[in-house]
Structure 1
Amino acid sequence: MLNFLPSIVLLILASTLLAIGTILCFIPILFFVVLRLILPFAALRKFFAIIFISCAEAWLTLNKGWMKLTQKTQWDVQGDESLDKNGWYLVTSNHQSWVDIFVLQSIFNRKIPFLKFFIKQELIKVPVMGVCWWALDFPFMKRYNKEFLKKHPEMRGKDLEATKKACERFKLTPTSIMNFLEGTRFTQDKHDRQGSPFAHLLKPKSGGIAFAMQSMGKQLNRLLNVTIVYPDGIPSFADFLGGKVKRVIVRVEQIRIPERFFLADYVNDQVFRAEFNQWVYELWREKDMLIGKLLADSGRA
């Protein structure tokens, strides 16, 4: 264990190990990406998917290795028992930092199918990782702001249609679909500008998971409702790499998704949309209360 080293040394060491692991796992992915482009046969799609996911899971295992080597974080994780590596899951969590992604990947790696995140379309241009996300069939989302939709009303709902098309592919192999309901990382400024009714959360956006449920059907019948708390303050990614994250608290709640949610039309059925939004609101209200309790119990109000 090297966590006795100065923070700047740990940051450099962790960053270097992360980069090396990423490159090592990227090389075989790139090879098979080229092969998939040469051999675009539907019959081979599942084979390539298995290869890409195996590389990604190896990357997560390497990440856990350097995290143990460079950090002395105390992990308090409950509720991650009785998970199925061959099941289909919809996963959601509160979102505060890039560190959240490493936390989620660390606790769920090889316990459930590899997490597929909803990603902004612009991120496909990120060097190395953009190709990996594309190979792993991450659903790329193009968001339109209110001003754009006023000028181009014909584009309204196009982002949700993209969600539906992406989810259709996930019926072939066990998949975990990850969606941050807040849509962006929490900051106090965003919270205040929204006028959020929650103390520790931004307002949730329900459309993405509603479409995921309706696209996948009863195959996707379990929701993993994850709550992440950093009792010593929300860390930056540099804090994380530098070994400054002292404690992480994670609670995982498995929820059976009501069957009626797979059948209704979220876009056109206003009564159902109101019911679904209320269901999500209650999840968020309970999560907000849980965060408050965990912070209080950990000594931070």
Structure 2
Amino acid sequence: MLAQLLMVLNAALVILNSAVCSVLICLIAIMKLLLPTPKLKAKGTAAANKVMWLWATVNAAILEISNDVEWDVEEIEGLHKDGWYLMISNHLSWTDIVVLCCVFKDRIPMPKFFLKQQLLYVPFIGMACWALDMPFMRRYSREYLLRNPEKRGQDLATTRQSCAKFQHTPTTVVNYVEGTRFTPQKQAKSRAGYEYLLQPKSGGIAYTLAAMGEQFDSIIDVTLAYPNNPDQPFKEMLMGKMSKIVVRVDVLPVDENVTGDYFNDKPFKRDFQRWLVQRWEKKDQQLKDIHRE
């Protein structure tokens, strides 16, 4: 009963925090539209990012107060708040967004997530994410593109348009490479051969690198795990039952392994996919070690 009451209270606090910060960000966005110069608009973007930092800080406080969490985070070096980064990560639940913001909010620019188009219509959250210039993606299936060839390449155009907004403000672009949250059912259906991961999809990260590759200082490869709460981490975090959060980080160079013409150079495309599979094999082994411990 106590856990259920705590879940209701924490959910209300998270919703209230999100609503208040979303309204503030949207007000800043309206003012930014009225500002006359790019330099002043950049200041508006910085102000919106500070509100997102406040949102992440309040969520971190709710998490810490409600849960007796052991944080197992590796030493993170070589990052700074004035850089541009591409972050890739496995994806387990809504908890991932809270954890990534908590861990990195004072180390690098506030993360900007690639979001599904449907999230644009979520009250408060969708409008705030739009105001923060987060990219909303509408993915097309292979079958749809065969029926509608005029839509081919539209994802890349949308990504370029979104990433163009990040060129003048230090930014961390987050890409969940698997494209969806992990579940045992999806893992069994994917037949990818991983124990704790789904098949990585190279298209999304390739779009981002094609649009901004030369601007990124590094690629941040993050591995997340909730070894004591693997099934419903977000619900159990709200109930005060989250006991351990593990974060492993590899900072990778933006080198010849990831810079090339993914869409027209077939040998590079194969090499890039091989590079990504190797990253996922290492990540799966990390997760095996974490859960074994």
Per the normalisation by structure 1, the TM-score is 0.91
**Which of 245, 249, 261 is the matching residue for 1:248?**
245
Cα deviations by residue, 1:94-148 (Å, 9 ceiling, x for unpaired): 1111111111111111210000000011211111011110111101101112332
Is 1:210 the equivalent of 2:218? no
Q: Point out where structure 1 has 5 or more consecutive residues left out of the alignment.
A: none
Which residue is 2:181 aligned to?
185
| Superposed displacement of residue 211, structure 1 | 2.4
Deviation at 1:255, TM superposition (A): 1.0
Task: Kindly provide the amino acid, as one letter, of the partner of residue 272 in structure 1.
Answer: F
Equivalences for 1:207-286 in 2 at 5 Å? 207-232=203-228, 233-259=230-256, 261-262=258-259, 264-286=260-282
Unaligned runs of 5+ in 2: none
Aligned residue number for residue 54 of structure 2: 58
Give the alignment partner of residue 37 of structure 1, picking from 33, 37, 60: 33
Divergent runs of 4+, >6 A? none
Q: Give the distance between the partners of 2:21 and 2:154, measured in 1 at CA.
A: 34
Query: Residues 288 and 52 from structure 1, CA distance in 2 versus in 1: closer, same or farther, beyond 3 angstroms?
Result: same
- Taking only the aligned residue pairs, the percentage that are identical comes to 37
Residues 187, 21 of structure 1: CA spacing in aligned structure 2 closer, same or farther, 3 A cutoff?
same
TM-aligned CA deviation for residue 40 of structure 1: 6.4
Q: Alpha-carbon deviation of 1:154?
A: 2.0
User: Contact (CA 8 Å) 1:120, 1:142: kept in 2 or not?
Assistant: yes
Task: Specify the code of the residue in structure 1 equivalent to 2:120.
Answer: I
Letter in 2 for 1:187: T
Residues 123 and 192 of structure 1: CA distance in aligned 2, closer, same or farther (over 3 Å): same
Equivalences for 1:13-52 in 2 at 5 Å? 13-39=9-35, 41-52=37-48
Alignment partner of 2:219: what SS?
strand
Write the letter of the residue equivalent to 2:83: G
Aligned to 1:86: 82
How much does 1:22 deviate?
2.0
- How far off its partner does 1:260 sit? 5.9
Deviation at 1:259, TM superposition (A): 4.0
Q: Which amino acid aligns with 2:178?
A: E
How far does the alpha carbon of each residue in 1:184-229 deviate from its partner, in whole angstroms, 9 at most, with x for none? 0111221222211212111111122222223223320311111111
How many residues align structurally?
292
* Per-residue deviation, residues 37-73 of structure 1 (Å, max 9, x unmatched): 3446534320210111011101111111111211112
Whole-angstrom CA distance in 2 between matches of 1:125 and 1:37? 21
Residue 186 of structure 1 contacts residue 202 of structure 1 at CA under 8 Å; is this kept in 2?
yes
State whether structure 2 residue 56 is matched by structure 1 residue 99: no
